[in-house]
Amino acid sequence: MQSPILSDAREAFLSARGLNKSVSLPREVFWRAGERKQVMNNIDLTLYPGERVGLVGLSGSGKTTLLRSLLAIEAPDSGTITCQQRDVRPASTAKLRWYRQAVQYIPQDPVSSLDPRMSVRALVAEPLIRLRVDCNPEERAREALEQVGLDAQFLDRHPHELSGGQAQRVAIARAIATRPRFLLADEPLSGLDLPVRAQVISVLKQLCDESGTGLLMVSHDLSVVTKLCQRTLVMDDGNIVEDQPTASLWRNPQHPITLALINAVTQLPTCALPSCNAAEVGALL
């Protein structure tokens, strides 16, 4: 499926073709094999340099499985993934150091993903050392923290000394330290208070705009996607059922799941929408 925003003449950064994945459901009785559920069904996806894309859907729709496949940490049953015309899948995991540097991950729960024994300095520098990036890790760590709005006083702190918003900024700094071309994020704002969530959205948008880094963000909250993403994909039952510019998606949803997600947002009080106000929601509708 081609991006409806960017010209087909523009070279794709990341492409997935024919991704399929099924998982075993729990057994009802121990002597009988459990049924299998298709969590990705012949998925085609193209991401272009510098674009910000939201991936939304209900729980169990296949969003996280697709993200893990794109991160090359979970193999699909079939299909191919290429990055700038180089094979990511099928390929040997040991030979993907170039891909780990080009595509970085922002976790859902930064507190649990950050080693409590390590300082912020060591946490941000770790991917640089592991991936053997040709740079001064100390200088790059300072630069990455500055990009997310944290000064040098945070370098010697440990995760337990950080607020939720600060921990998420450290996780983002760790992801951008390698100067990736694309960020893949799994619900990076779900555990944050509303004011902090708005701040992190601003940080992510500014980072992408200034560096030209692309973003694919998994979320179940269309209000977040509306403010941050130019294009939105909707998944349902292992399929991508919509791929539209975000504003068009709100004005003209084509699938019942999309309409349900929009209704879930518009039925909330305005104060509960961290990424858009009443006027913006009205304009989109």
Comparing 183 with 95, the larger pLDDT belongs to: 183
Q: Which of 206, 205, 123, 135 minimizes the C-alpha distance to 166?
A: 123
**What is the share, in percent, of the chain residues with pLDDT greater than 70?**
87
Strands 239-245, 231-236: pairing kind: antiparallel
Domains and CATH numbers, the chain: 14-284 (3.40.50.300)
Rg from Cα positions in the chain: 19
Instruction: Give the per-residue pLDDT at 26.
Output: 73
Tokens representing 167 are 């921990």
Predicted local confidence at residue 266, as pLDDT: 66
**Per-residue pLDDT reduced to its tens digit, 166-196:** 999 999 999 999 999 999 999 888 777 788 8
As a whole number, mean pLDDT of residues 94-104 equals 91
Query: What value does the mean pLDDT of the chain take?
Result: 85
- pLDDT category, 281, cuts 50, 70, 90? very low
Is 70 in contact with 16 (CB distance < 8 Å)? yes
10-47 per-position pLDDT tens digit: 789 999 999 999 988 777 666 666 688 899 999 999 99
Angle between helices 137-147 and 164-176 (to 10 degrees): 130
| Confidence at residue 196, expressed as pLDDT on a 0 to 100 scale | 83
When pLDDT is averaged across residues 80-100 and rounded to a whole number, the result is 88
CA gap 283, 70 in Å, rounded:
34
pLDDT (average), residues 159-166:
90
